[in-house]
Amino acid sequence: MNRKEFLHKSAYGALGAVALSQWLWACRKTELFEEGDYSGKVVVIGAGAAGLYAAYLLRSKGVEVEVLEAADRYGGRLGKLEGFADYPLDLGAQWLHGKNSILGDLIKRTDTAISRDNSESRFWFEGELKRSTPVDIADAFSKEDLPDVSFLDYADQQGWGRGSAYEYIVEWAAGDQGAGAEAISAFWNIKEEENWSSGEADFKFEQTFFDLFNNHVVPTIADRIRTNTVVNRIDYSGSSIVVTDQQGQTYTADKVIVSVPLPILQDGDIQFTPALPSAKVAAFQKLGMGPGMKVFLKFSEAFYPGNIVGGAVCAAYADEREGKSGSDHVLLAFVMGTQAQKLTDLGSDQAIINALLAELDDMFDGAATAAYLDGRVQNWTTEPFVRGAYSYATVGVGESRKTAAEPIEDRLLFAGEAMNLNGHHQTVHGAVETAIREVTRIFESAQ
């Protein structure tokens, strides 16, 4: 199961791959920061991929930097599950979507072991597992001339929507993009990724995506990360910016990089003084970020034939053993959008696991319950400082992402996956690219 599996079939994806964008090239070049000097202090809000990488770059140039992180650990939507199987698992991001990126470069430079994900998928269709379906839903949603309506409305118009045998295959296609089929725009989903340039194949880490950061980004900045620090005010009315946390402690900076997940901005967790421009606030609201969870199910045997697409409870199951050196059989339920909300509403991890086992039992004549050993739920929707999976394009989203990402006075800066304008939102390398963009902006402001 490759998260970007279907999108990259699109014409836009292919174009992006051929022409490595100018911007990405600039990104790679500026990582070296041959020139540039900045003597101010920078505070970074959020220690996810974007925040960590921004701090790493700033520190490498001797800039005074402090990272304020609300949770009791760093990593954000990167996390590691150890001890569940005889190989480590990713609680959040796990696939490197294309090697042609700044993270592809880091992986190469550090000899980090990755392998191409060649796993195969079967479709649950008309009560059977099939290799393909008469209508290729992935292909259908990869066209660049689709209308600006939701996946579900478009599917309804085509006769493969609500109540049809394709209903949950459409849900998978939307879920792959982090959304429920009723919420994501068929047009903007493709349009927003027209500059995708990191490559088509997906790769898995022999260890985890979290380890890449933990081993190669965090070491030089570990002493600059302050966890359990929930920022709730940023006052940029004076010549210095004053950041205040929930305990009332203040931090003064010349520049601030805000790299919190979109719902934190949408829900107004951080009060800005002066208030952010209304167009920017409206742009936050126009972007989407829906529910998402990963459920790891360990079995005594692999009764499943690889990945399974199209379940009514979970539209995407993935064989976690793919690319790992270990023998335990772990099936991942990758649940997004409406399905993730429905499972969250069940109220307990055990109820979630039971619902998934019941669906698998139905597909495999009771084999799931018979082989079940253990389960673990990682619900990103209920993580207090994340509240969802990743950002997506809503119907009518237009240029909202651009407005959302705009800096204020060149000193209040916005980073994170939702602020990526290069078609790489929803990804770790996309989050990192925004860090590079904003650190570059800081150095440029000093020239």
Ligand X SMILES: Cc1cc2nc3c(=O)[nH]c(=O)nc-3n(C[C@H](O)[C@H](O)[C@H](O)COP(=O)(O)OP(=O)(O)OC[C@H]3O[C@@H](n4cnc5c(N)ncnc54)[C@H](O)[C@@H]3O)c2cc1C
Query: Minimal CA–CA distance to 288: which of 395, 142, 408, 433?
Result: 395
Taking the complex as a whole, the smallest distance from the CB of residue 387 to ligand X amounts, in Å, to 9
Compare residues 10 and 133 and give the one whose CB is closer to ligand X: 10
Name which position in 92, 175, 291, 311 contacts ligand X (CB under 6 A): 92
Compare residues 166 and 296 and give the one whose CB is closer to ligand X: 296
Name which position in 98, 161, 261, 291 contacts ligand X (CB under 6 A): 261
**Binding residues with ligand X: total (CB under 6 A):** 41
259 binds ligand X (CB under 6 A): yes
Taking the complex as a whole, the smallest distance from the CB of residue 158 to ligand X amounts, in Å, to 28
71 binds ligand X (CB under 6 A): yes
Rounded distance between C-alpha atoms, residue 260 and residue 415, angstroms: 8
Specify whether the CB–CB gap between 138 and 102 falls below 8 A: no
Rounded distance between C-alpha atoms, residue 319 and residue 360, angstroms: 13
Q: In this structure, what token pair is assigned to residue 72?
A: 């009791």
- Find the binding residues for ligand X in span 160-219 (CB under 6 A): none
SS3 content of the chain, % helix, strand, coil (to 5): 35, 20, 45
Specify whether the CB–CB gap between 363 and 308 falls below 8 A: yes
Compare residues 46 and 199 and give the one whose CB is closer to ligand X: 46
Taking the complex as a whole, the smallest distance from the CB of residue 45 to ligand X amounts, in Å, to 5
Compare residues 79 and 161 and give the one whose CB is closer to ligand X: 79
* Edge-to-edge order in the sheet of strand 250-253: 250-253, 241-245, 231-235, 271-273
Compare residues 150 and 198 and give the one whose CB is closer to ligand X: 198
Name which position in 1, 44, 58, 70 contacts ligand X (CB under 6 A): 70
Binding mask 264-303 for ligand X (x = CB under 6 A): x----xx---------------------x-x---------
Residue 94 has what DSSP assignment?
-
Name which position in 24, 42, 55, 78 contacts ligand X (CB under 6 A): 78
Which DSSP string do the residues of 257-301 spell out, in sequence order? EE---HHHHHTT-SEEESPPPHHHHHHHHHSEE--EEEEEEEESS
337 binds ligand X (CB under 6 A): no
Residues with Cβ within 8 Å of residue 208, at least 6 apart in sequence: 78, 80, 88, 89, 90, 94
Compare residues 260 and 352 and give the one whose CB is closer to ligand X: 260
Phi, psi of 408 (to 5 degrees): -110, 120
CA torsion, points 251, 257, 260, 262, in degrees to nearest 10? Answer: 130
Segment interacting with ligand X, rule: CB under 6 A, options 220-228, 261-269, 344-352, 362-370: 261-269
- Find the binding residues for ligand X in span 33-52 (CB under 6 A): 45-51
225 binds ligand X (CB under 6 A): no
List residues binding ligand X (CB under 6 A): 3, 45-51, 68-71, 76-78, 92-95, 97, 230-231, 259-261, 264, 269-270, 292, 294, 380, 385-386, 389-390, 416-417, 426-428, 431
